[in-house]
Structure 1
Amino acid sequence: MTGNPVISWWMPPLLAVQFLTRLPVPGLNRLSAEQARYGLSRSVIWFPLVGALVGVITAAVLVATAHIWPRAVAVIIALAIEARLTGAFHEDAVADFCDAFGGGHDVESTQRIMKDSRIGSYGALGLVLAVGLRAALLIAMPQDWIMIALIASACFGRFLAVAVMAIVAPAKTQGGGLAKDVSGRTDVMDLIWANLIAAPVLGLFAYWHPAAALLTLSGAVLFLLWFRAILLRRLGGSTGDCLGFAVYGGQLLLLLALLAMVG
């Protein structure tokens, strides 16, 4: 029985950047397939920090463009840049998830629809509503909270995906993918590490607005209870699309909670 491949300590965070963004990441082309797979499974604890990086870039674009155009225009430009930065990774997951859970009626049909790359009415409507709600929240967010909202929500969304990996086993579907190759190795200890890594960002958010942080946490607990139940009942576990949906859901939860308190 062979052990895990040997990888350097710096590889998991770089693999997290490579997986979640389209940013060029040097130094990873020499990894073997086994090292890359194992390294990616160890990289999930860094997902919240990569999310914060994405949030910083999106916030910088929004603040810069808001000096030239109205807030609504700046938000659309910032979200477009973010979609290019991430490869619209999570938006695609939202569409696939909505199609599968809207059109499927049992485990087999839900899995079949989720694997279909075509977008249906549920997926199109779900994506428009999700992106539209996020844009509306950012447009309505007070100026003083824009950067905090974007960075903290991006971090929290990726943290929520790690939480889903830790509490829901991968679905028994054909093929590999993130949920099977990565989240199958994720446990509660990984969630604790992800929490510690996310603490500088989420801790500052909680310090600046404890009530909004508490409301976000309460909403996240309810979301995870509902999400775990529906994934096990309708899909038999999680998939990469489910994790992407959790990321977007986490972002919306924090933005909703913050705007409810400061709007």
Structure 2
Amino acid sequence: MRYQLELFLTALGYFTRIPVPAWVPWSTQRLNHAARYFPLVGWVVGGVGAAAWLGFAQVLPASLAVILSMAVTIRFTGAFHEDGWADSCDGLGGGWDKAQVLAIMKDSRIGSYGTVGLVLMLLAKAFALIELAAHGNAAVALALLAAHPLSRLGATALIHWLPYAREDDSSKSKPLAHALRPGELAIAALCGLVPLILLGFAQALAALLAAGAVALWAARLFLRRLGGYTGDLLGAAQQAGELGIYLGILIAWNCT
């Protein structure tokens, strides 16, 4: 059990700003094995976002409460996945071949595609959550609690399905370039899927279908453009999956 706790804390420290206790060992091999707990990190991020939303919604209009709760989760994660989305937009939007796409994504500066993509992504997520607020404060909180783990499961599945696209060791995500073993994949799936019980059947089914569709679309796109994934592309897949889940839940709410 201690080893499993260490792996979870390794994943938590890598994907959030939470300090990891000094007694937790670090190695690239442990980070690779910690991939099973990436969706569980989504429980923590989603819980922080839901708590922030419920607190702000008591004293502020829904629109401001949503924006501030998003700001809290972005600060909590260090904009880790948002940065990956922006870099992916720049690379896939501005690059013609694999080498050019990878070089653009490696550049720390943000370009036109990244700026537009990031703004549109944040606006789309904000407006989706604001629309969900019409169904009650609990609807937003439950959507956050479900979307963060499930979207991270989609990104984790890409690690399992796809090869790593970079041929060098320069990327921070190189340690993750290994397929998960069946037991590890089962743990990731359990952590990503269990929060769906918080939703109604129609909302859970719509969220699952949306997450699956985004993951399959991302896998096809990444294979076609780069022959695999990079860390930035995993972040982009998480962001797209999160938005897709919100939209799926919203559509299910509006159709029932």
The two structures have a TM-score, normalised by structure 1, of 0.89
CA offsets per residue over residues 143-174 of structure 1, 9 Å max, x none? 23111101100111111111111111111333
Identify the residue that residue 50 of structure 1 maps to in structure 2: 41
Structure 2 gaps of 5+ residues are none
Identify the residue that residue 94 of structure 1 maps to in structure 2: 85
Worse-matched range after superposition: 219-228 or 155-164: 219-228
Distance 1:54 1:124 in 2: 24
CA offsets per residue over residues 81-137 of structure 1, 9 Å max, x none? 111100000110110000000001111111111111111111000000111100101
Q: Tell whether 2:195 aligns with 1:201.
A: yes
Distance 1:78 1:40 in 2: 29
Deviation at 1:220, TM superposition (A): 3.0
Q: Aligned ranges for residues 181-220 of structure 1 at < 5 Å?
A: 181-187=175-181, 189-202=183-196, 204-205=197-198, 208-220=199-211
Which of 12, 37, 46 aligns to 2:7? It is 12
Distance 1:149 1:220 in 2: 13
The two structures have a TM-score, normalised by structure 2, of 0.91
Distance 1:28 1:39 in 2: 14
The 8 Å contact of residues 149 and 191 in structure 2, kept in 1 or not, is answered as: no
Structure 1 gaps of 5+ residues are 1-6
Q: Tell whether 2:70 aligns with 1:79.
A: yes
SS at match of 1:57: helix
The 8 Å contact of residues 72 and 139 in structure 1, kept in 2 or not, is answered as: yes
Distance 2:109 2:202 in 1: 41
The 8 Å contact of residues 154 and 212 in structure 2, kept in 1 or not, is answered as: no
The 8 Å contact of residues 53 and 68 in structure 2, kept in 1 or not, is answered as: yes
SS at match of 2:178: helix
Which of 50, 67, 71 aligns to 2:58? It is 67
Q: Tell whether 2:27 aligns with 1:36.
A: yes
**Number of corresponding residues:** 250
Distance 1:185 1:221 in 2: 18
AA of the residue aligned to 2:233: C
Q: Tell whether 2:123 aligns with 1:129.
A: no
Identify the residue that residue 158 of structure 1 maps to in structure 2: 152
The 8 Å contact of residues 210 and 241 in structure 2, kept in 1 or not, is answered as: no
Q: What percentage of aligned pairs have identical amino acids?
A: 37
**Superposition RMSD in Å:** 1.8
Q: Tell whether 2:21 aligns with 1:26.
A: yes
